[in-house]
Structure 1
Amino acid sequence: MIAAEEGHRKQRRAGWIRFWPLLAAAAAVTVVFALDLHRLLSFEALAAHRGTLLAWVEAHGPLAAGAFVLTYAAATALSLPGGTVLTLAGGFLFGIPAGTACSVIGGTLGAVAVFLAARTALGGALRRRAGPSLDRFAEGFRRDAFSYLLVLRLVPLFPFWLVNLVPAFLGVRLGTYAAATAIGIVPGTLAFASAGAGLGTVFEAGETPDAGILLRPGVLLPLLGLAALALVPILYRRLKAGRSAP
């Protein structure tokens, strides 16, 4: 009897422990908004402090790039608004190649943190509650997870935070998730970093950059084309399976 009660207590403690990443994230978000730190991730803040930021980047180089990556990762992990501003800032502060690389690394690290937290805290419980219906869907998604995730990352119609969470609930492997995320966000990040590289002119004119750059036909259509290419392996396997079926 005592052994059974001790076992139940250990299970309850283990149950609470798996929620610590989400609790820590919730506490961090509360602190960020309580101190108005989220206002620093705005175009107005970037415009106001651009001289200081440029001087700091010039003086510290790799250290500044590392700080930017960590800031981007934290903002992504906490699902804070401001990802667009950060990507523009990357192009403005570091140039197009380095700004794109820093944003991709930071965005991928933050997305992986969300994925691991959600999988640890909720993934198994959600799959058990959903039952066979989710299992069948998850199995199909996992079979072509890389291609599906690549499409979700390429097409700018799906909220980034949502795409961070869903694969965790469907049992996608970490390596597949990280690779598809890193590759899939490159085109959009490159577009924003390119726009960010020209922010000096925008600042001088007192204007606001176009945050809808990904919806321009010249940007959106190539992204949709890449998404269609990402679906080709799935269609090929489906056709091959259909032909081989009796």
Structure 2
Amino acid sequence: MSNKATSLHERLIRLAPVGILVLGLAVGYALGLEKYLSLGYLAEQRQAMRAYVDGNAVWSALLFVGAYILAVAFSFPAASVLTIFGGFLFGWLLGGALVAVGATIGASILFLATRSAFGSFLRQRVDGVVKKLADGFRKNAFSYLFVIRLAPVFPFFVVNIAAALFDISLGRFVAATFLGILPGTFAYAYLGQGVDSVLVAAQAAGREAQISDLVTREITIAFFTLAVVALIPTVVKQVRQRRGGV
């Protein structure tokens, strides 16, 4: 086999995981799976779903974690809704724990697939400001990623992909992701535990419940406050390093 053919074969192997994830996302939309990941579907099936969970606790938990892993790995936009599902079906504590595990595993799969396919290719071609940003991010990878996870300003899947391109180690990615999403995860799971009254009210009003019916301004402010507080040590460290280098 020639060097050119070998190089092409290796490139295809690197791209295969990302190709599978993209294909899975396309198949999911083609099958209309998004309709099952909505508060409207939860409103219609809440009694049947809760009855199934009550009768099959362990199996239901495993199915839920598996579904969450797939949704995150394939970048299906359903994290908030699924977290609410978890709180409604399993309670805020167990539901939040299941979500944290599923989200971290799913995010890690996407992270590894992206890093394998594009990480080294892009890192060899960045320069200037982008390279300085990447180097700074790499040196404080855990702190920066932890802060980004605390305050979900960017879509979850975007952060998973960006982290892979900035050459963060898998261990730091997993730790920062798991710990960073815990406050928001348990907050949404807690909202899900009490979502029944919101679903009933929305049905009575002849409309479908929305995430905005549950998330208050106070909760959003709390997330950003947590992120700011978590960022302070990193900022102080950077200031001290710059002063020391002068």
Instruction: Indicate yes or no: 2:54 matched with 1:58.
Output: yes
String of CA shifts for 1:118-142, please: whole Å, max 9, x gaps. Answer: 1000111111222454333211111
Q: What is the letter of the counterpart of residue 161 of structure 2? A: L
Instruction: Indicate yes or no: 2:147 matched with 1:137.
Output: no
Where do residues 97-246 of structure 1 align in structure 2 (5 Å cutoff)? Answer: 97-131=93-127, 133-205=129-201, 206=203, 208-212=208-212, 216-246=216-246
String of CA shifts for 1:140-189, please: whole Å, max 9, x gaps. Answer: 11111111111111113211111111110010111111111111111111
On the 8 A contact 1:127/1:170 being kept in 2, the answer is yes
- Check 1:122–1:214 CA distance in 2 against 1; reply closer, same or farther (3 A cut): farther
Percent identical pairs in the alignment equals 36
On the 8 A contact 1:150/1:183 being kept in 2, the answer is yes
On the 8 A contact 2:195/2:214 being kept in 1, the answer is no
* 1:16 shift after superposition: 0.9
Q: How many residues align?
A: 242
Q: What is the letter of the counterpart of residue 241 of structure 1? A: Q
- In structure 2, which of residues 20, 43, 47 is the aligned counterpart of residue 47 of structure 1? 43
- In structure 2, which of residues 56, 72, 88 is the aligned counterpart of residue 92 of structure 1? 88
Q: What is the letter of the counterpart of residue 237 of structure 2? A: R
RMSD of Structure 2 on Structure 1 (CA)? 1.9
On the 8 A contact 1:115/1:168 being kept in 2, the answer is yes
On the 8 A contact 2:191/2:214 being kept in 1, the answer is no
- Check 1:46–1:216 CA distance in 2 against 1; reply closer, same or farther (3 A cut): closer
Q: What is the letter of the counterpart of residue 8 of structure 2? A: R
Where do residues 19-30 of structure 1 align in structure 2 (5 Å cutoff)? Answer: 19-30=15-26
TM normalised by structure 2 equals 0.91
- Check 1:159–1:214 CA distance in 2 against 1; reply closer, same or farther (3 A cut): farther
Instruction: Indicate yes or no: 2:4 matched with 1:15.
Output: no
On the 8 A contact 1:192/1:213 being kept in 2, the answer is no
